[in-house]
Structure 1
Amino acid sequence: MKMMMQILIVAATQPEIQPLLDHFGDKKPFDVLITGVGMVATAYAMGVQLGIKKYTLVINLGIAGSFDRRIELGEVVEVIRDTLSELGAENDTAFIPIEQLGFGKSQFDTTNNLSDFWNGASIKKVNAITVNTVHGNEASITNITKRIYPQLESMEGAAFFYACQQMNVPAIQIRAVSNYVEKRNRDNWKIGLAIKNLNNFAIELISTLIQA
């Protein structure tokens, strides 16, 4: 008898994954964890949930802003490295990451790749940062781009990776780009398109996983 995968879908807010939930309805072949926005809420919620149940795969779904203009608005990507970009100390105009201070770790790689679970998947692999304050100032955007060269930013991704690594759980992070990182202008955002594409991809991914 084939054992069904134990899958946990993690999102900061329910609207980001509502089409996925609607598609599978009451017969969802996965558990759902809505953490709330931000790295603190994510780390706490993940710690509680992963302490209750063991999962075959944990998937973080969400939207994100992109520093990389080569990534199209609405495009779905896989985050393979995520950094807590604000974790460290200022030394006048220089920034000292927590690794250099000797107090911990700020950079986390994915525990697994999407291709480990779905050979047919073909999306860009990107590096991201996790922030408390999303960037919307030209000077701060320039500074973070020179320091880390991120392609995406979210408010949860690195905390998600951290929790999964601590609990030794296979994990992947999938995001769709809703906007470019620039001076805040909601008229340029494509949240609806990002959510649509993210959920279409997630439905296909889950369908593939449960049939494997």
Structure 2
Amino acid sequence: MRVLVVTAVPVERDAVTRAFTDGPQILDVPGAELHRAGAFDVVAGGAGPASAAAAAAFALASGAGAEAGPGTGAGPYGLVVSAGIGGGFAPDAPVGSLVVASGIVAADLGAETPDGFVPVTDLGFGRERFVPPPDLVRDVAAAVGALTGEVLTVSTVTGSAGRATALRTAHPHAVAEAMEGFGVAEAAERLRVPVLEIRAVSNAVGPRDRNAWRIGDALAALTEAFRKLTPVLEGWTTPHDRHR
């Protein structure tokens, strides 16, 4: 099973590929620079849900694996992973911890009303969450020592205590926030490929304090997570409709 991993930026992509001692094979495929490491094809798709969705959709629909040519181990993708660093909700997900999403939630997709925020589903259209395969979430979290819970996708990163409280009130099972997971999940859904989201916590959700960020530690944790989860994914097979 080949796995497509979508990160936001190159440093996250490189943190994933560092998990493999042979280093990545860099492939120029239409629309992307694809870094192949073992069974993983890793793309830095850009920040935010729109860029992430576009990058994931293009890689899936263009058959990026097949573009690599014979003898490369290319094949259909059996899983898509949104991976990178993110903010953790204290005290559940402290800086340096790992999170595997039990739900991938679009936290700010909807409408503001006089009575507060209304999610898109309450407006009568769209969807606001994807649920990764629960057995895979459980096995990956156990393998890498991660917390499980909802990971919120936001287009504007939280920068105040008030906003952090509002998000946690609206989503009491949330443990982290990031900017790409829901976009990756939307793309995976189009081709009925299961999706997973893994985040290494680099900062607390709330007031922005750059001095408290631990980006290097989070990237190192992400590398170690991919080292540990590889055997889990190698032994995991599932019909494509189990992620619904």
TM-score bin, normalised by smaller chain: 0.7 to 0.9
1:131 Cα shift?
A: 0.7
Cα distance between partner residues in 2 of 1:181 and 1:124: 16
TM-score by length of 2: 0.77
Q: What pairs with 1:78-93 in structure 2 (closer than 5 Å)?
A: 78-93=100-115
Please give the secondary structure, in 1, of the residue aligned with 2:84: strand
CA deviation map 1:1-27 (0-9, x unaligned): xxxx21212111110131432433145
Q: 1:140 aligns with which of 154, 158, 163?
A: 163
Structure 1 runs of 4+ with >3 Å offset: 114-122, 207-212
Distance 1:15 1:172, change over 3 A: same
Q: 1:163 aligns with which of 164, 187, 191?
A: 187
**Can you give the 5+ residue segments of structure 2 that lack an aligned partner in the other structure?**
26-36, 64-75, 237-244
1:200 Cα shift?
A: 1.0
Code of the aligned partner of 1:156 = E
Q: Could you tell me which residue of structure 2 aligns to residue 76 of structure 1?
A: 98
Please give the secondary structure, in 2, of the residue aligned with 1:194: helix
Cα distance between partner residues in 1 of 2:234 and 2:122: 43
Pairs aligned (count): 208
TM-score by length of 1: 0.88
CA deviation map 1:185-208 (0-9, x unaligned): 011111111110111111222355
CA deviation map 1:100-152 (0-9, x unaligned): 11121112211452446797454221112111111112222222221222221
1:62 Cα shift?
A: 0.5
Query: Is structure 2 residue 59 aligned with structure 1 residue 49?
Result: yes
Please give the secondary structure, in 2, of the residue aligned with 1:90: strand
Query: Given that residues 17 and 199 in structure 1 are in contact (C-alpha distance below 8 angstroms), is that contact kept between their aligned partners in structure 2?
Result: no
Code of the aligned partner of 1:202 = F
**Can you give the 5+ residue segments of structure 1 that lack an aligned partner in the other structure?**
none
Q: Could you tell me which residue of structure 2 aligns to residue 37 of structure 1?
A: 47
Give the % identical residues.
31
Structure with the larger RCO, 1 or 2 (CA within 8 Å, 6+ apart) = 1
Query: Given that residues 100 and 147 in structure 2 are in contact (C-alpha distance below 8 angstroms), is that contact kept between their aligned partners in structure 1?
Result: yes
